[in-house]
Chain A
């Protein structure tokens, strides 16, 4: 499973706000579309999801029980 934010390109309006708040460089604009680059630097701060007004960007958490 991908360990980067997930983009719904149908919902993305290309405003680029997520790219501007991303400090690890996981997100870039390709043309008018936000694209996720695979990176190990992403610390899952979820700021990109927080600023996305269309709900196109998602940072889902996997929920696990320790030692399950």
Chain B
């Protein structure tokens, strides 16, 4: 298996790095494949490998003690994950799961540190990657902590529901996120929460409002 240096060039870590340098460091990478659903990083375990998605998509998630899942990010081709654990040596902050067939390139912490010492531009690029991740996670924390998003989602569902007169409008989770001023990951979580409150039922491509009064109460609940 040969590592494709063309692919490395697509990663933000290796932006503006000469092809000759990429050729010289390619030997430090290894390829890993996974099938849909496979977990290749577990939260709280130690895996000092920085992964790059070559093909497919990877869900980065945390799971609560009662099994609720919060997606932190979706890593697509060119994206990296497990950056924090590789740089601070602590356990993996989140789990990673293949959303379909996935091809990854991995590099071990020791090898990454060696190439960073020789090519400091890679460290600067890595800092930009980490800064981008901090911004994304800060935005997610803001939504989870300070916004009563579930109430806004309840309001959107009530406003856009078809009351039998054919006037309803179909909405994607992205549409609802834009309307509620949040991100798609939070909409998914809110819909699941509303379902567990038995206010709605997710039925294939339908969101069925099963308890309109309960949904109205959630909409009106104070922050």
Contacts and interface: CB of A to CB of B under 8 A. Distances in A.
B171 A60 contact: yes
A5 to B, nearest CB: 9
A66 to B, nearest CB: 5
Given A17-B57, A21-B100, A60 B184 contact: no
A61 B163 contact: no
Interface in B160-194: 160-164, 168-175, 184, 188
Interface string A20-64: 111100000000000000000011101101110101001111111
Contact of A49 (B100, B162, B164, B172): B172
A43 B168 CA distance: 22
A63 B77 contact: no
Q: Choose among B55, B76, B99, B162 the residue with the greatest number of A CB atoms under 10 Å from its CB.
A: B99
Contacts of B107: none
Contacts of A61: 170-173, 205-207
Contacts of B101: 20
Contacts of A49: 172-174
Q: How large is the interface on B (under 10, 10 to 19, 20 to 34, 35 or more residues)?
A: 35 or more
B205 A17 contact: no
Nearest to A19: B100
A17 B77 contact: yes
Contacts of A17: 56-57, 76-77
B206 A62 contact: yes
B212 interface: yes
B212 A65 contact: yes
B209 to A, nearest CB: 5
B8 interface: no
A3 B206 CA distance: 10
Interface string B67-80: 00000001011000
Nearest to A57: B172
Nearest to A15: B77
A47 B171 contact: no
Given A49-B173, A62-B162, 12 more contacts: A3-B204, A17-B56, A44-B205, A46-B172, A47-B57, A47-B99, A53-B76, A60-B172, A62-B170, A63-B157, A63-B162, A65-B161
The 3 nearest A-B residue pairs measured at CB: A60-B170, A21-B100, A20-B100
Interface of B: 36, 55-57, 74, 76-77, 99-102, 157, 160-164, 168-175, 184, 188, 201-202, 204-210, 212
18 contacts: A20-B56, A20-B99, A21-B100, A23-B100, A49-B172, A50-B74, A50-B184, A58-B174, A61-B170, A61-B172, A62-B170, A62-B205, A62-B206, A63-B160, A65-B162, A65-B163, A65-B164, A66-B201
